[in-house]
Each structure stands twice: as structure tokens, then as C-alpha cells.
Amino acid sequence: VNYILLGTVDTSVPKIDPDTGNYSADVLVNIQLYKIDMDFESAELVASVGPEIKTAFGTSDVIAANLALKKTFDEAINSLIYKL
């Protein structure tokens, strides 16, 4: 293994949006990509993303949370790839 990806995810409790009547959920993500050097037993930070907060809406709390997670990870991974 030459690389390791570490990250954290925090989600809010979905709430009803007063403007739309749908549920909204927020997700915060941090991701770091490290290159492992086995010769020196060290890790070098290659790229990082975050903290990023994304919000998604859904007809139920579960749908809103799942959409927010998907949206956040899709955009965070794309951002990480663009930095490489």
C-alpha cells in the first residue's frame, strides 16, 4: 500500500425546511490523502479537502441524509482528484 485516505464525516439531524416543507440535512467532511514511505516509516500529506459542508433536501429525513452524504462525498472526492 503506497497511499492511505483518512477522513471524517459529521451529519446534522435532518430538519424540516420552512420554505419547501421538505427535510434538509447537512454533512461536513474532511479528507486527507497521505503517501506512505516505508523506507523512512513516515507519511507525507499529498492532498486534502475540507472542511466542506453540503446540504440536500428530500421528502423524508432518511432520503435527505442519504442525498447529503452522496452529494458531499462526490464533490469532496472530485476536489481531491483535481488537486493531484
Residue 60 pLDDT > 80, yes or no? yes
Per-position b or e across 25-45, b if 16+ CB within 10 A of its CB:
bbbbbebbbbeeeeeeeeeee
Tell me the pLDDT tens digit for each residue of 4-40. Answer: 999 999 999 999 999 999 999 999 999 999 999 877 7
Residue 41: the pLDDT is 79
Q: Greater confidence, 50 or 41?
A: 50
pTM for this structure? 0.80
